[in-house]
Amino acid sequence: MLRNSPPGSADIGALERKAKRLRRHMLTMARGQGQGYIGQGLGIADALAALYFHELRYDPHNPAWPDRDRFLLSTGHYSIALWAALAEAGIIPVEELVTYGADNSRLEMSTLDTTPGVEMIGGSLGHGLGQGVGQALGLRVDRYDARVFVELSDGEMQEGSTWEAAMSASHFRLDGLVALIDCNGIQADGPVVLDMEPVADKWRAFGWETFEIDGNDMTAVVGALAGARERNGKPTAIVLRTLPGKGVPRIESSEKSHFFRIDVAQWDGIIAEFEKSAGAAQ
Contacting another protein (CB under 8 A), which of 14, 167, 194, 205?
167
Between 118 and 248, whose beta carbon lies closer to another protein? 118
Contacting another protein (CB under 8 A), which of 41, 63, 101, 130?
130
Task: Check residue 251 for interaction with another protein (CB under 8 A).
Answer: no
Task: Check residue 168 for interaction with another protein (CB under 8 A).
Answer: yes
Q: How many amino acids of this chain bind another protein (CB under 8 A)?
A: 30
Task: Check residue 139 for interaction with another protein (CB under 8 A).
Answer: yes
Between 5 and 168, whose beta carbon lies closer to another protein? 168
Contacting another protein (CB under 8 A), which of 61, 141, 195, 280?
141
Question: Smallest Cα–Cα separation from 41: which of 71, 11, 85?
Answer: 85
Residue 213 CB partners (closer than 8 Å, separation 6+): 220, 221, 223, 224, 238, 239, 240, 241
Between 48 and 133, whose beta carbon lies closer to another protein? 133
Smallest distance from the beta carbon of 232 to another protein, in angstroms? 21
Cis omega (within 30 of 0) for bond into 7:
no
Contact (CB, 8 A) for 222 and 6: no
Contact (CB, 8 A) for 110 and 123: yes
Task: Check residue 213 for interaction with another protein (CB under 8 A).
Answer: no
Instruction: Write out the residues near another protein by the rule CB under 8 A.
Output: 66, 112-113, 119-121, 124, 126-127, 129-139, 141-142, 160-161, 164-165, 167-168, 171-172
